[in-house]
């Protein structure tokens, strides 16, 4: 789906004094929008061609630390520039920011103007192109869960995240009454994202106090990833305007539910769903079965892109709706891969492994790469598993730690072939840095556990 503002319409809106600011964004390794705010006239005059950013933006951690050891850049290379090339098909009005439009940019090499291979948007585009060369359009949707708090972002930062009050006080899963106090923020989120050209389907209360989910209609994978990044920005900025805050951490507290980002996927050919076969008992085509077989075979290798931080792995607990086993099942929420829309034209696979902290470009690209490998190799789909899969013995587990997922990523011939060795090494380095930081830092847990008891 195209965004809601053409370049000509932007020109007219600027001339009419409706828009004065254009935000140009790239996507960083954490899936965040990073860039510049342009005066709209300067964007129209020149910056729409290209602008620039420091190449450290694809080599920092969550806290913008200049991580040593990347091949792509570093102090020794002087941290030069990347080209930010606006993708004008993504121009949107941003209704929650006065007089503002936003455009996504591709990251290009400063000298060659070729796509930077480890840029998340480049990685996803390459896999989508690969699917297209095989004759398929890739449709995806990324559900997004988060927690909504009464306190502001600044207030929580200043208090060291000590006084956190979930907007709703108890489990509000599907509860219309229970989410009433969330509704001023949630209504604004739904309506303003809609007016930004993001087809929001719904929001709903989720399985813990203050937890919400927002869903946008499925679209081609790149558009879905762009929407996902923008939905996160919108939720944060709109919550902030209400003096509230949200978190997309996979697990903000060990006693609370985790937040997921389930990825729904289907391939289409000539405008028709290629995963559908009415002759099959479950309405699933052979193509869908090969695709799912590829994702199951490579589940451990792609887990890093679905769960990229130490914290991500704290979500995988038994009995809290997050999966622990990389198996498939029909409409069963205890499986890592769940077939939805069985026997309909919307038959699709939902990967439930990802947390709300995933980078949607990398997650969609890794899932696609694994699925396409299954199609290339005509992999056979193992039998479905049913019942309470948390209790199933002798089945494929989701890696339990970031270290295990990073090792599987590093050893993945499939991902090395799909993304290239340098890209795999780049993200493996990011994982190693995360692990070394976790090993270095003394946590609140250690202090509380041992201070007067050790």
Q: Which spans of this chain sit near ligand ADP (rule: CB under 6 A)?
A: 139-141, 201, 215, 217-218, 264-266, 273, 340, 346, 348
Tokens of 340: 């939805």
- Minimum distance between the CB of residue 292 and ligand ADP, rounded to whole angstroms? 13
Q: What does the DSSP 8-state code read for residue 46? A: I
Taking the C-alpha atoms of residue 55 and residue 82, their distance in angstroms, rounded to an integer, is 5
Non-local CB neighbours of 63 within 8 Å, separated by 6+ positions? none
Nearest-approach distance from CB 330 to ligand ADP, in angstroms: 12
Assess contact for 40 and 10: CB atoms under 8 A. yes
**Minimum CB–partner distance for residue 276 and ligand ADP (Å):** 9
Please tell me what DSSP assigns to residue 44: I
Length of the chain: 454
Which residue lies nearer to ligand ADP by CB, 173 or 437? 173
Q: Which is nearer to ligand ADP, 88 or 340 (CB)?
A: 340
> At closest approach, how far in Å is the CB of 80 from ligand ADP?
39
Nearer to ligand ADP, 138 or 405 (CB): 138
Q: How far is CA 26 from the centre of its chain?
A: 14
CB 360 within 8 A of CB 224: yes
Written in H, E and C, the secondary structure of 273-311 is ECCECCCCCCCECHHHHHHHHHHHHCHHHHHHHHCCCCH
Please, which residue, 24 or 334, has the CB nearer to ligand ADP?
A: 334
Which is closer to ligand ADP, CB of 44 or CB of 346?
346
Least Å from the CB of residue 201 to ligand ADP:
6
CA distance 315 to 208: 13
The residue (of 49 and 201) whose beta carbon lies closer to ligand ADP is 201
Greatest alpha-carbon pair distance for the chain in Å reads: 69
CB of 266 to ligand ADP, least distance (A): 3
């Amino acid at each position: 789906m195209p965004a809601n503002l053409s370049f000509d319409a932007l020109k007219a809106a600027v001339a009419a004094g409706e828009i004065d600011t254009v935000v140009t964004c790239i996507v960083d390794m954490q899936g965040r929008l990073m860039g510049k705010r342009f005066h709209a006239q300067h964007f129209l005059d020149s910056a729409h061609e290209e602008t620039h950013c420091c190449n450290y933006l694809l080599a920092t951690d969550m806290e913008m630390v200049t991580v040593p050891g990347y091949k792509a850049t570093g102090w020794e290379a002087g941290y030069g520039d990347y080209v930010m090339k606006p993708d004008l098909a993504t121009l949107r009005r941003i209704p929650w920011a006065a007089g503002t439009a936003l455009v996504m940019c591709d990251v290009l090499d400063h000298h060659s103007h070729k796509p930077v291979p480890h840029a998340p948007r480049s990685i996803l585009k390459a896999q989508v192109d690969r699917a297209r060369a095989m004759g398929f359009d890739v449709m995806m949707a990324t559900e997004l869960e988060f927690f909504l708090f009464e306190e502001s972002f600044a207030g929580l930062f200043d208090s060291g995240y000590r006084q956190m009050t979930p907007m709703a006080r108890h489990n509000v899963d599907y509860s219309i009454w229970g989410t009433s106090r969330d509704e001023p923020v949630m209504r604004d989120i739904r309506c303003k994202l809609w007016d930004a050209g993001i087809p929001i389907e719904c929001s709903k209360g989720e399985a813990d106090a203050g937890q919400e989910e927002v869903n946008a209609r499925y679209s081609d994978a790149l558009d879905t990833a762009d929407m996902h990044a923008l939905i996160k920005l919108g939720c944060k900025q709109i919550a902030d305007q209400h003096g509230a805050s949200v978190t997309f951490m996979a697990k903000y507290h060990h006693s609370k539910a985790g937040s997921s980002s389930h990825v729904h996927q289907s391939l289409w050919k000539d405008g028709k769903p290629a995963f559908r076969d009415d002759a099959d008992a479950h309405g699933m085509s052979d193509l869908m079965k090969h695709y799912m077989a590829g994702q199951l075979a490579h589940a451990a290798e792609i887990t890093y892109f679905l769960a990229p931080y130490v914290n991500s792995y704290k979500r995988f607990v038994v009995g809290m709706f997050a999966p622990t086993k990389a198996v498939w099942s029909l409409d069963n929420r205890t499986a890592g891969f769940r077939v939805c829309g069985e026997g309909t034209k919307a038959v699709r696979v939902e990967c439930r492994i990802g947390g709300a902290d995933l980078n949607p470009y990398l997650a969609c690209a890794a899932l696609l790469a694994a699925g396409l490998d299954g199609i290339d190799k005509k992999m056979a789909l193992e039998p479905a598993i049913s019942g309470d899969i948390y209790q199933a013995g002798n089945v494929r587990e989701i890696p339990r730690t970031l270290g295990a997922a990073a090792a599987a990523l590093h050893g993945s011939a499939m991902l090395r072939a799909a993304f290239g060795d340098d890209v795999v090494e780049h993200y493996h380095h990011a994982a190693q840095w995360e692990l070394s930081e976790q090993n270095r830092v003394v946590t609140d847990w250690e202090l509380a556990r041992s201070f007067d008891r050790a």
